[in-house]
Chains A and B, each alone.
Chain A
Amino acid sequence: MATKTLLFIEDEYLEMEDFVSALKEEGYDVETASDGGEAIQLLSKKRYDIVLLDIMMSHGDEMSSSIPGRRTGIEILKMIRTGKLEPSIDRDTPVVVLTGLGNSREITDIQKLDVNELIQKPIAPDRLAIIIDDTLTASFSRKH
């Protein structure tokens, strides 16, 4: 079975480390981006099977957000879903969102953004790997 590629977009490097290890153990080819700019660059050049995104990530350069530093994970998600990054990334690419937010309304708002799966932190890496796997399987089943 071909190795699945995953882009992990998360600005907290320390948090990323163990999760990346867990995902690699599950057989994923993991690449990382630590800010929105880097994420857009990678997404523009390569097709990923799945994107894992921290919704509260700050951006590293001037982007369209008028309130810098807040929720540009949402902007990346919107760019994927509106096809702005095609043809390199399919707008239907599964996106799993990680969030530290807790308010029910905020969770509902994120869910409305057409995410495949929303995971509330904290979560253990092995559990995350299982959810990623399930999401990818479900997405593949829907397509075929």
Chain B
Amino acid sequence: MGFEPQMRPFRVSKLTDLIAEEVLELIQLGFGKQQGIPMTIIEKRDDAYVRIPRREDFQPWTGFCKYLRSTAEGNRLCVEYDRQQAESILSEKSESPKQYICHAGLVDISVPIVIGGEVIAVFFGGQKRSSGSTKEIESAVAALATKVPGLNSQTLLEHANAIEELTEEDLAAVMKKLRTIVGYITTLAKDSYDTKRRLQEELFLEAAVSYFMSQYGKERRQVRQVIQEILVGLGQFAELSACIFLSEQETIPVVTAPYIPLQVPLVRIKSSLNKIIPSSSVRSGHIYNDRIQVHPVIGNSVEERIFLQDLIDVLQRSTISRAYISRFELLNNIPGIFIFIENCGQENIGVDQQSLKERVKFLEDFVSRAREQINAYLVDEEGSDLVAGLAHQFRSPMSWILGRCWALKKKRSDAVSQLGYVSQQVADPKIIGPVIKAFESMGPIVADIENYIEILKYKADSLLYLAASERGQAEFDFRLWSVPQILRGRIDLFRPRGEKYGKTFRLQLGRGADTKIFIDRTQMEIVFDNLLDNAVKYSHAHKEILVTAFLDESRNRYIVRVDNFGLAIEREEQELIFKRYYRGRMVKDVKRQIFGSGIGLAVALSIVEAHGGTIRVDSHRGRGDSVRGSVHGEGYRTYFTLEIPIKRSGG
């Protein structure tokens, strides 16, 4: 499916597309009273001409107009007159203010409201008498009296006489006031117009880039087709008739408004084009059909001159009246030259050079912004590839190490067997014995390496989670899992390291601990590993690390607590330690260096929060229990408490 812009370029057909009718009413009411000038706005909605304000109590008529409009026929004549005036101005697209005498003999002024080069409404004001207009008014009143049943010409004349007579200078001042008010309305409307148009452009840009990226990765030919489709859509925004995307391959048809395909044979200029495209500079210029001119900026190289001459020849044979050539590269590996052609096959509609320049500038800006956005997407794609690549880079070497450990264990086992045989047959047990012991001692060393590889895996996972979440790519797969089962596995991982320093683990399962909960197992293992690793690192030797799990039914939360005795986390640091790269003061103060990156708890918090949960730490001075008899030590009890809300369904 081709690119179908979801929205058409923002076009304005009436003023209330930009400013709410209520606001216009208030403006007129306010200015009208302040200036003493009745005023009204007429715009076209579909086929009808609508007056603003429409509310009767907002109508600012003079006594004269009120009386005339109080009769059915009088009102009809006035409405019809106003409509004709508005129709005339809107259809002629006349942008000039006018002063005229209405059908009732009063002076009215019309000021067109122009937005985006279009007259979208007409502002009327006045209902004044010019000095020396008595005869005209009497004549108009007499004529009206014959047409409008129930109209008393005397009464109407009395109302007319009550209207102030204005000199030419006075009327010029009224005109100026009205133009000022229209200027104010136009400024408001233009702001709204610019905002809405920009929004449309941004939406179009997003749609175009999304469409492009959805096709990216396919063959170049297809991608070029995509770019062409986008440019055709873009042509509507820039109100240019056609866009050509030239490739060094076959002819690309030119699509014009009203979408009459016009084949432009470019085979002949292919070789010239091939020479130009590798160049990195941008060239631009104008070509006019009646007087072919080449802007001095382009055609600097021989190749470009040849290309342009060929192109001119081609364009002259068509009915293109104006063209603008500009060279862009949307992506570095998809070069091309864009030619924007106006009024293909049509007569010159009077678009001036400035207007054309503005439209082309718009297209150039669009391409530039599209390029930036596409590059941003590509960087993101590369970024996600980077994260995946990093994962692979971490885990593959770890696999290799485990493989080597396995090979070492095998060789050790083989060596021990051989030595055992040898010792039985010939050797002095006093010599062979230590050799066998030496080989046997390799076993625990290899086991240590294997254990540490497993621990490194969670550290790598923490980093990878961090990288992914920074790119907004951290994703979760929530399923029902048994937390105690996971905890047992993770405790088994850290147990060997803990036992080297006499630190033991105890898992205590409270009420409801076996309740399965919706979690992302892989990510939650990272959380548990971080807490357990911290407990091993920062607890004192020969102390117990207690892991508790239970269900708090009253609050519908699953609680996991990791409790150890050792280094303190001071109160003022208890929130800070969850921040990236922060390490507690006590950790940094101890004589023995405890290595850490300061990201583990930040990652743990992020994962737990993604589950809708919380994690907090408490640390207070206490007396620790030791597994070695009655020896009690001084230190701090530190508890990390994890709370996860119970989800009743997945996700």
Q: Which of B388, B400, B406, B523 is the one whose CB lies under 8 Å from A15?
A: B400
Q: Nearest residue in A to B406 (C-beta to C-beta)?
A: A125
A56 close to B388 (CB less than 8 A): yes
**Interface residues as binary, A108-126 with B (CB distance below 8 Å gives 1, 0 otherwise):** 1000000000001111111
Q: Which residues of the partner chain B approach A123 to less than 8 Å between Cβ atoms? A: 399, 402
Q: Which residues of the partner chain B approach A126 to less than 8 Å between Cβ atoms? A: 406
Interface stretch (choices A31-39, A79-87, A98-106)? A98-106
Q: Which residues of the partner chain B approach A103 to less than 8 Å between Cβ atoms? A: 387-388, 391, 464, 468, 473-475
Known: A124-B403, A126-B406. A104 touches B395 (CB 8 A): no
For residue A107, CB closer than 8 A to chain B, the reply is yes
For residue A1, CB closer than 8 A to chain B, the reply is no
For residue B218, CB closer than 8 A to chain A, the reply is yes
A122 to B452 Cα, complex, angstroms = 12
Interface stretch (choices A18-26, A40-48, A130-138)? A18-26
Which of B385, B399, B410, B474 has its CB near the most chain A CB atoms (within 10 A)?
B399
**Interface residues as binary, A5-28 with B (CB distance below 8 Å gives 1, 0 otherwise):** 000000010110111011000000
For residue A2, CB closer than 8 A to chain B, the reply is no
For residue B198, CB closer than 8 A to chain A, the reply is no
Q: Which residues of the partner chain B approach A56 to less than 8 Å between Cβ atoms? A: 388, 392
Q: Nearest residue in B to A25 (C-beta to C-beta)?
A: B410
For residue A3, CB closer than 8 A to chain B, the reply is no
Known: A103-B468, A103-B475, A104-B476. A122 touches B395 (CB 8 A): yes
Known: A18-B407, A66-B218, A103-B468. A122 touches B401 (CB 8 A): yes
For residue B405, CB closer than 8 A to chain A, the reply is yes
Q: Which residues of the partner chain B approach A101 to less than 8 Å between Cβ atoms? A: 388, 391-392
A111 to B357 Cα, complex, angstroms = 55
Total number of A residues with any Cβ neighbor in B under 8 Å: 29
A105 to B617 Cα, complex, angstroms = 30
B477 close to A105 (CB less than 8 A): yes
Which of B395, B473, B522 has its CB near the most chain A CB atoms (within 10 A)?
B395
A15 close to B399 (CB less than 8 A): yes
A74 to B473 Cα, complex, angstroms = 21
Known: A70-B385, A100-B395, A108-B477. A122 touches B406 (CB 8 A): no
Q: Which of B219, B387, B396, B474 is the one whose CB lies under 8 Å from A121?
A: B396
Q: Which residues of the partner chain A approach B385 to less than 8 Å between Cβ atoms? A: 70
Question: Interface residues of B toward A: which range?
Answer: 35 or more
For residue B650, CB closer than 8 A to chain A, the reply is no
Q: Nearest residue in A to B388 (C-beta to C-beta)?
A: A101
Nearest CB of B to A20, in Å: 10
**Using a CB-CB cutoff of 8 Å, which residues 510-529 of chain B contact chain A?**
520, 522-523
Known: A67-B217, A101-B391, A107-B477. A12 touches B396 (CB 8 A): yes
Q: Nearest residue in B to A17 (C-beta to C-beta)?
A: B403
B522 close to A104 (CB less than 8 A): yes
A124 close to B402 (CB less than 8 A): yes
For residue B394, CB closer than 8 A to chain A, the reply is yes
**Interface residues as binary, B389-430 with A (CB distance below 8 Å gives 1, 0 otherwise):** 001111110111111111100100000000000000000000
**Interface residues as binary, B453-464 with A (CB distance below 8 Å gives 1, 0 otherwise):** 110010011001
B523 close to A104 (CB less than 8 A): yes
Nearest CB of A to B600, in Å: 16
A120 to B399 Cα, complex, angstroms = 10
Q: Which residues of the partner chain B approach A22 to less than 8 Å between Cβ atoms? A: 403, 406
For residue B201, CB closer than 8 A to chain A, the reply is no
Q: Which residues of the partner chain B approach A67 to less than 8 Å between Cβ atoms? A: 217
Nearest CB of A to B599, in Å: 16
For residue B563, CB closer than 8 A to chain A, the reply is no
A106 to B400 Cα, complex, angstroms = 22
A14 close to B522 (CB less than 8 A): no
For residue B108, CB closer than 8 A to chain A, the reply is no
A121 to B460 Cα, complex, angstroms = 12
Q: Could you tell me which B residues sit within 8 Å of A by CB distance?
A: 217-219, 385, 387-388, 391-396, 398-407, 410, 450, 453-454, 457, 460-461, 464-465, 468, 473-477, 520, 522-523
Q: Which 9 A-B pairs have the closest CB atoms?
A: A18-B403, A122-B398, A100-B395, A105-B475, A104-B477, A100-B392, A121-B395, A122-B399, A66-B217
A-B contact pairs, 17 of them (CB 8 A): A15-B399, A19-B403, A21-B410, A22-B406, A100-B392, A102-B391, A102-B460, A102-B461, A103-B387, A103-B468, A103-B475, A104-B522, A107-B477, A121-B398, A122-B457, A124-B406, A125-B407
